[in-house]
Chain A
């Protein structure tokens, strides 16, 4: 055993060895060039009634932190009989998925050169007034040990860059961005065509978009937006820590309840390589495949050990912390809507008066979910009509799933380069998301 774990208590230690790079240009001026490296740890002790946490950057002092927390806790001879203890695992495993292609081994000069290579494309557009080009990467090795005997080591990596630009012509303004995310540096090469298309789309939108007529519409979400929609509209509702001690919510979201059409299936898993990759979660439980909705029926929820205990359901490997400074709470990993049977063309041609929403700047989700779009197009009489400016699309979480009346036949998966998921003080956590094109009735558009 690596540490001397006190008797009568559950204890775990999570150690994070972190490497990251940030490079930012504004126009052609280098604004930020940073490599960050550190190791730090988070320690938890549980006595059957309360959790005691400490975070430290002194890896030699971890035993001292364990002992100090143990002194605050009440020793419990029956700790092993507690339900939460039973929901914590004793896995022993090493899963190093990124060895040999670590971004920490890519020279900083190569990362800078990659950014510089795309700048002329943006620079060439006559309407671009300001642009930023950002490269971000991260490589983390986590170790996990607990008093049940768990010994884990696994790694996580992401890399990507984004080009953000602001166009203006007189009073007309438009912000656009194009990003490419991957899990290794070579994947980022070959970005130019996507960027050229995005710039052309932004220009067309700035010059020709009109304010939308506010009201209720059928909204067709592109796969990127579908991913955010499912995350915001339903994913957060599936995080079961909100349901602890809450009978009303449990009844409302009772497993087996029909909430959507037969072809609606929503899944969640930490096993997909990408931003949400979590082979073991931050309390040592293994990633699972969780169907949140299967064929329109509520089928599962996301858990850490505490929520799984309270709801008497299996753990799902969704306890995640933003960094060594935070405790693991129930978070999504990679969440997506599965494919349906319609083509994109069918979704459009069946729509009399709707909005096609192809990208977004942010979303949020509580009882009312929101999506702040970038590009929207009016759909009239089964055809894409014209670009329209929309501040926000909102819908009711309880009704939106039932209002999905069309799902296309191809799923795309995404990871954002910048941003991530926010949940109270822990923002922002990298997650994956995706889905096909979907059409949702009765969305408020303004």
Chain B
């Protein structure tokens, strides 16, 4: 038992040659966000607050594909989506198609708490955000706030290669190399459990580079990219279409609930069953276990538990082990 937290900044084909100047800011953001979440859990903040807080911070970082730094649709616009779920009550909220809301995850929480619905999208979600600006302090910004020059270039490369890319840019075969050899940015997510076994999950994303306008991925879909109940909390990342069809997040929980598997077994089973190169997830269980499996080259990830274990990583353990460090 005890609290635990895990977070991710996307899974994908992250080359081992990722230059240090690209790697360092992402590691720093992961570390900073982990510390923020740990401090909040130590201060007995409810897990729902903790996952929202951490995902807000990840959204605010231009390093990852959510909030500021979201990737662009084929029209060069941003369409952000997010989802949050409370494991205790199974209450949840989700949003899609946001173009001006600075913190999509907080709007998802407001949908959960202040509407009769779970999921609002596009114009209706934007209109709801505007209603909440004064009363709930929802922050909006011009779309230029979200669009980075890196992502403009990423879209250009994707269009030249005529492909829809997953939320991190894979090396393009026979085409222009991606921006300065990297652009490994991805969906962000956080799961947390407190000392009473209360769980929560949150995920936020800009989606895919060069996605069709109106495309919805796995992130906002309860049971696909995001899920929490009394057994565990899960946030997934990778190829949205594969995650939706495999109902990845719900399946981890369902395997624990219906088949009696442990968190690690359940997560490993789901990852193994999903086509290679498509998915990663972070998950915590009610009794404070953590797991962060993926079948992609890498996944930006971090976790910490009450008993003092802590890890920040990108590639499978054993590779670049210097990233993993014991916390005290």
- Our verdict on whether A and B bind, yes or no, reads no
